[in-house]
Chains A and B, each alone.
Chain A
């Protein structure tokens, strides 16, 4: 028996979510008194995993994995789960993690819960706490099957270091040929994505026009933040749909979310509740977003934001 973590790598490196699932897997292995095994592919330096408790690492390198067919990746993870007799498989909630996890669960005939925010409340019965109702509630959900798949919500558990000497094994199970081909990809490589961001700067209809996004860009740049927007802004075409945060857009689970000129409709709040600190800048002191925020400034964004950018530059110069 073991706990299996799928640690996704991107261009040979591990993102924070991979270390978060590894941290979670290590703690769960301790809770269940069993071993942690991490499965990954195409990663060169596994030290970050070892630092977070990965004693055994199964590393895939086969050409079969150079596919855009998620079913092949699911087979890869399932092969590792079967080899290691994994009782619980843990997968992150990135766009790839959320893509592959249900397939893994169906192939293992395992119960699956997504958006899990903490270690199991009990292990017999196996009960986890997860976000539901667009983060307006938590659900305590029992996984009733002997094999279980957990989708860990991003930035919910945190990173825990427990350095070990790790043993990396080549892992090359027989895999089929993918039936899905990628013909093009369009990805902003020089910008922080909403998924990876520690800080997000978001603009709403209060900014009056897409032409006024310069100050949002300036603020995002000084903070090393990702840019986001409300639904009306993407519907109006001021900003691309990929920047839409909210119930039907992306989930923002960051440490800091700065909302500028966003009133805070319930659908928008459903996308930002998982962020830890929310700052609201709005002319309307009655804007509902203030009720959901930690810090607020009532005032004109066109005056406040440039000042904030200027002062943050000074702050960054002093504090590095």
Chain B
């Protein structure tokens, strides 16, 4: 089985969010970039298939040279090789088209992408990718088992979960839950040394148009101070008469 894990390089979850150039660009100053959390869960699950079922494991990211640090981390965790598509990830449709070209080239059986990136939160790449490839697709995946050509996939739904059966080739939009928290791996020194020797191939993008463009950003208005309340009677009164939510 050939697995491709799609990696988005995103600001660390605790980053301060600021914008520059008249609020048109995200301010990367002082920001540490990491593997998108949902993608890290995906990668960890993919490692299980590599180690237990002999799958090959490639990671891919769309971005400029700066995303190579994140891809090297994925290699240090255990991916066999990495592909960087040399283009700015401006729009989800653009990214999906680039990834589709990589999947077609490499003939991957299983593509795992995080259900959304924690920066732009588009949540569209896995579904668009599956559609462009005409692969089966399951989103919000919290569990996956593969036996030969058959996949058993657990998906989170509103208020619970469902178990689905389908076949490879398959794209899944995965999320937290696909592995347990303690299964996440911190790259060790040996992994980091080996990652330096693993192939990180740079591919030029295919010709594709972005369908959307972020023009500018704004931060939510500064909220007024929290009203401190002394007792529950006062709280109930405020929630009923002031906030009108009960």
Q: List residues of chain A with CB under 8 Å of any chain B CB.
A: 68-71, 74, 94-96, 98-103, 105-107, 109-115, 127, 131-145, 151, 179-189, 191, 193-196, 199, 223, 235, 241-242, 244, 247-249, 255-256, 266-267, 270, 273, 276-277, 279-280, 290-298, 304, 307-308, 311-312, 315, 319
Cα–Cα distance between A190 and B146 once the two chains are bound (Å): 33
Chain B residues with CB below 8 A from A249, complex form = 176
Within residues 124 to 143 of chain B, which ones have a CB less than 8 A from any CB in chain A?
A: 124-128, 130-132, 136-140, 142
In the complex, A191 Cα to B218 Cα: how many Å? 37
* A contact residues around B233 at 8 Å (CB): 311
Is A241 a contact partner of B177 (Cβ separation < 8 A)? yes
Pick from B37, B131, B132, B166: contact of A179, CB under 8 Å? B166
Interface presence of B123 (CB below 8 A): yes
A186 vs B164: C-alpha distance in the bound complex, in angstroms? Answer: 12
Instruction: Enumerate B215-234 residues with CB–CB distance to A below 8 Å.
Output: 215-220, 223, 226-233
CA separation between A48 and B77, bound complex, in Å? 52
Q: Which residues of B contact A279 (CB under 8 A)?
A: 235, 239
The answer to whether A293 touches B128 (Cβ under 8 A) is: no
Contact B210 A248 (CB under 8 A): no
Bound-complex Cα distance A179 to B223 (A)? 48
A89 → chain B, closest Cβ, in Å?
13
Question: Which of A94, A247, A256 sits near B158, CB closer than 8 Å?
Answer: A94
A187 and B38 in contact (CB under 8 A), knowing A68-B164, A311-B236? no
Inter-subunit contact B165/A181 (CB<8 Å): yes
**Stretch from B12-20, B44-52, B63-71, B196-204 that touches the partner:** B12-20
Given contacts A111-B93, A134-B121, contact A182 B163 (CB under 8 A): yes
B240–A315 touching, CB < 8 Å: yes
Verify B137–A103 contact, CB threshold 8 A: yes
Q: Tell me whether A298 and B228 are in contact (CB under 8 A).
A: yes
Judged by DSSP, the binding face of B is mixed
Question: In the bound complex, what is the Cα–Cα distance between A128 and B214 (angstroms)?
Answer: 9
B residues less than 8 Å from A189 (CB atoms): 159
Q: Is the CB of A273 within 8 A of B220?
A: yes
Q: Which chain B residues border A95 with CB–CB below 8 Å?
A: 140, 156-158
**Chain B residues near A132 (CB-CB < 8 A):** 119-121, 214, 217
- B30 interface residue per 8 A CB criterion: no
Q: Contacts of B167 on A, CB cut-off 8 Å?
A: 179
Q: Which residue of A lies closest to B182 (CB)?
A: A235
What are 11 A-B residue pairs whose CB atoms fall within 8 Å in the complex? A74-B131, A103-B127, A103-B137, A137-B218, A139-B216, A140-B215, A179-B136, A249-B176, A295-B243, A296-B229, A315-B236
Answer whether A180 and B175 are a contact pair too, CB < 8 Å, given A139-B217, A297-B229, A298-B228.
no
> Is B186 interfacial (CB 8 A cutoff)?
no
Q: Are B93 and A256 in contact (CB under 8 A)?
A: no
In the complex, residue of chain B having the shortest beta-carbon distance to the beta carbon of A304 = B232
CB distance A142 to B128 under 8 Å? no
B50: min CB distance to chain A, Å:
23
Q: How far is the CA of A295 from the CA of B228 in the complex (A)?
A: 6
Which residues of B lie under 8 Å from residue A194 when comparing CB positions? 158-159
